[in-house]
DNA sequence: CAAGATTCTGAAACCGATTCCTGACTGAGG
DNA sequence: CCTCAGTCAGGAATCGGTTTCAGAATCTTG
């Protein structure tokens, strides 16, 4: 049988109120009582029923975590960090994978709204107005996306792009291509925008190759477009794409970085392990996840964190073997 | 304000019981009433409070999902499948990543036990007796591990090993090495055991290189051991290790598969995309996850599935470029 | 059309906690 | 020794649903 607070109360010879109080704020109860209650609780192995607690307090101690695609190695890093940080505060994580589907995303959030105290939306794909519709209803923190007044934790992608373009320019590249990610991805839009303005200001020609799937095959498919374009370097939306590019370049006999330089995004674990090792713009998924949890928890406590409702994390260009001087 | 069942009842001009009934079993209520209730519910945008429901029914509609390490690309596949299958039945997934720590695993399960209807334990690392201690307390399904009478969904790793050894033997290999995974991994034990018996019966010499970390670096570290051993082929505990092996072999100037053949395990997405493409023993994480959810849900309905409390999924050797005829 | 069978509906108990409110007890001070 | 303030503990209401039970409404049937 399940043991409830009543069992503990009976065993300790006190009322349920006293048990509840003892567990919630031990100092509000006399030492003798406290002693007996704790002993009784330990004896029967009592642990409170989360549903009952949620019902009275209105707090579930759950957070909803929404990711577009767990198969993208960047997200597990974030999810791990979120899960572990949330646990520290006794919060559990309800995970939802939307498979890059904006409408599924909205629907799933709707369904979960009563089961969680708030949401962490990683790279949400839904439209701004849909996301905005949740404000007021439930606390939300977006990760790597900025939507109006919604608190967010983002990486400074613009700065990352700046570093990458600077790096390529220094290597003598005068024309570079960009392989885009999902149209619905805010990160993609921000990178593309940053890239345009950066290239313009540095006098570098930018060839936009449109949107490709944010995975290995998407990159491989785009590789031939790159080779057909008058460029000596290519930036990919993420590392998986970059790996796909490199792989297809090899097949086509285009050597990296001698003939073409490749820059990825994210610095997934494998990026530094393949050959050639991938030059990439790193974002620290673990820091991102941790900061997102902290921000959401601040929100839940009604203390808007000292850092305000948005936090920006640095990005860093990691130069490895996939970039080199521009081909003549 | 939040809308409750009372608001719906008032608006529809019926009692809360009728609203509850209408939503739970529409056929038990007169069409006219049903009509009004549904209209009212839609109008105010009612959705039931999960905590309240859990309190009365004793069912949370949550399942606990425990994985050792989400960063291992095999697990996201499983998690995605589990999440999506669970959603079909309106179950939510509480995700826990134990970071390969057996004691954390037990502790986390304990903490979640009141919040879920049951657990899915993917490749649990805890000791048999610890896992057994949960039986009776809460429904549990283990994935890729068999513990006494606990219902489980596993891949036929022994058969996978059989296929791999047969493949290598046919290629003329007479001595092979095995790079092990985590000591706490049941899959590792099963593979090692199957490997031993298979090699014995086929007259192939097996060199056990002990346990390595189940990731790229673990494989890279083991590569030198492999080269120092009198073998012409190596089986790794998983694909990440295999990739690490290949990478380090390249650095050492040992060509794959000419000088040494490499076989991985799992068939993670990248396995078919690197060069040389990895020969590997595939296990379908998606099928595994889906079957695990179905089994757990059967358990929760007290109908032990037609397939009984254990289900075995096939494994399949995928022959690609990393294996070839044994070096002379 | 009345009586009995059947179908629907509403009132109320209940799930397991939290928390407000009140009364009992304690100790201090006069 | 009595009063009063302050501390501590218990009773009861409450959260938002589900479900049992009994009575009301409807339908059959003779």
Is A200's CB less than 7 Å from nucleic acid strand D?
no
Cross-chain residue pair A216–B95, CB shorter than 8 Å:
no
Cross-chain residue pair B244–A273, CB shorter than 8 Å:
yes
Mean pLDDT (whole number) for B136-140: 88
φ/ψ region of B83 (left if φ > 0, alpha if ψ in -120 to 50, else beta) reads: alpha
Nucleotide with minimal C1' distance from the CA of A56 is D15
CATH architecture of B5-48: Orthogonal Bundle (1.10)
| The pLDDT of residue B275 | 85
What confidence tens digit (pLDDT) does each residue in B267-308 have?
A: 998 899 888 999 999 999 999 999 999 999 999 887 665 556
Is B79's CB less than 7 Å from nucleic acid strand D?
no
Protein contacts of strand C with Cβ less than 7 Å away: A 2, 4-6, 16-17, 19-21, 23-24, 48-49, 52-53, 55-57; B 13-18, 21, 28-30, 32-33, 52, 55-56, 58
Contacts of A6-9 with C-beta under 8 Å, sequence gap 24+, read A7/A44, A7/A46, A8/A37, A8/A40, A8/A41, A8/A44, A8/A46
Share of chain B above pLDDT 70, in %: 98
Chain B, nearest residue to A115 by Cα = B50
pLDDT at A304 over 70: no
Nucleotide with minimal C1' distance from the CA of B53 is D17
Nearest by CB to A79, which of B70, B112, B275?
B70
Cross-chain residue pair B247–A275, CB shorter than 8 Å:
yes
Nucleotide with minimal C1' distance from the CA of A16 is D10
Per the CB < 8 A criterion, the answer to whether B84 and A69 are in contact is: no
Query: Which bases along strand C come within 7 Å of a protein CB atom?
Result: 7-12, 14-20
Q: What is the CATH number of domain B61-155+285-313?
A: 3.40.50.2300
Distance B8 CA to C9 C1' (A): 16
Among A residues 23-82, those touching chain B with beta carbons less than 8 Å apart? 47-52, 54-55, 60, 62, 65, 70-71, 73, 75-77, 79-80
Domain boundaries, chain A: 5-48, 60-155+285-314, 157-283
| The pLDDT of residue A137 | 84
Cross-chain residue pair A95–B273, CB shorter than 8 Å:
no
Chain B, nearest residue to A4 by Cα = B114
Cβ pairs bridging A and B (under 8 Å): 125
Is A17's CB less than 7 Å from nucleic acid strand D?
yes
Structure tokens belonging to residue B168: 């290598």
pLDDT at A328 over 80: no
Q: What is the CATH number of domain A60-155+285-314?
A: 3.40.50.2300
pLDDT at A2 over 90: no
Among B residues 92-151, those touching chain A with beta carbons less than 8 Å apart? 92-97, 99, 108, 111-115
How far apart are the CA of A111 and the nearest CA of chain B, in angstroms?
Answer: 8
Distance A149 CA to D25 C1' (A): 55
What confidence tens digit (pLDDT) does each residue in B216-247 have?
A: 999 999 999 999 999 999 999 999 999 999 99
| The pLDDT of residue A208 | 96
Nearest by CB to B115, which of A75, A92, A112?
A92
Chain centroid, CA B156 distance in Å: 13
pLDDT at B318 over 80: yes
Nucleotide with minimal C1' distance from the CA of A24 is C18
| The pLDDT of residue B274 | 87
pLDDT at B4 over 90: yes
Cross-chain residue pair B114–A243, CB shorter than 8 Å:
no
pLDDT at B260 over 80: yes
Give yes or no on whether A60-155+285-314 and A157-283 have one common fold. yes
Candidates B67, B95, B117, partner chain A, best to mutate (most A CBs within 10 A) = B95
pLDDT band at residue B136 under the 50/70/90 scheme: confident
Pick the CATH number of A157-283 from 3.40.50.2300, 1.20.1260.10, 3.30.210.10, 3.40.50.1110: 3.40.50.2300
Nearest-5° angle of CA A101, CA A107, CA A109?
Answer: 100
Residue with tokens 């002693």: A35
């Amino acid at each position: 049988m399940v043991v409830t607070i009543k069992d503990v109360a009976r065993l300790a010879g006190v009322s349920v109120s006293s048990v509840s109080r003892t567990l919630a704020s031990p100092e509000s109860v006399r030492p003798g009582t406290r002693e007996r209650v704790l002993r009784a609780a330990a004896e029967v192995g009592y642990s409170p029923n989360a549903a009952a607690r949620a019902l009275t307090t209105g707090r579930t101690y759950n957070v909803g975590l929404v990711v577009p695609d767990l198969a993208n190695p960047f997200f597990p890093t974030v999810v791990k960090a979120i899960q572990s940080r949330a646990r520290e505060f006794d919060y559990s994580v309800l995970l939802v994978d939307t498979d890059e589907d904006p409408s599924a995303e909205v629907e799933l959030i709707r369904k979960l709204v009563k089961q969680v105290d708030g949401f962490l939306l990683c790279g949400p794909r839904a439209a701004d107005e849909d996301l905005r519709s949740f404000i007021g209803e439930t606390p939300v923190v977006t990760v790597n996306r900025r939507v109006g007044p919604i608190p967010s934790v983002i990486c400074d992608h613009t700065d990352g792009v700046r570093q990458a373009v600077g790096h390529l320019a220094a290597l003598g590249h005068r024309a570079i291509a960009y392989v885009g990610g999902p149209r619905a991805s805010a990160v993609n839009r921000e990178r593309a925008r940053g890239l345009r303005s950066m290239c313009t200001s540095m006098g570098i020609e930018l060839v936009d190759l449109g949107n490709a799937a944010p995975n290995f095959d998407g990159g491989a498919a785009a590789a031939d477009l790159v080779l057909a374009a008058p460029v000596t370097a290519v930036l990919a939306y993420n590392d998986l794409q970059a790996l796909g590019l490199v792989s297809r370049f090899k097949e086509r006999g285009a050597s990296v970085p001698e003939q073409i330089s490749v820059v990825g995004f994210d610095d997934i674990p494998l990026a530094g392990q393949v050959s050639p090792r991938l030059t990439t713009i790193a974002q620290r998924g673990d820091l991102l996840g941790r900061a997102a949890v902290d921000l959401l928890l601040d929100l839940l406590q009604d203390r808007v964190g000292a850092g305000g409702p948005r936090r920006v994390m640095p990005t860093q260009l990691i130069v490895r073997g996939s970039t080199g001087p521009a081909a003549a």
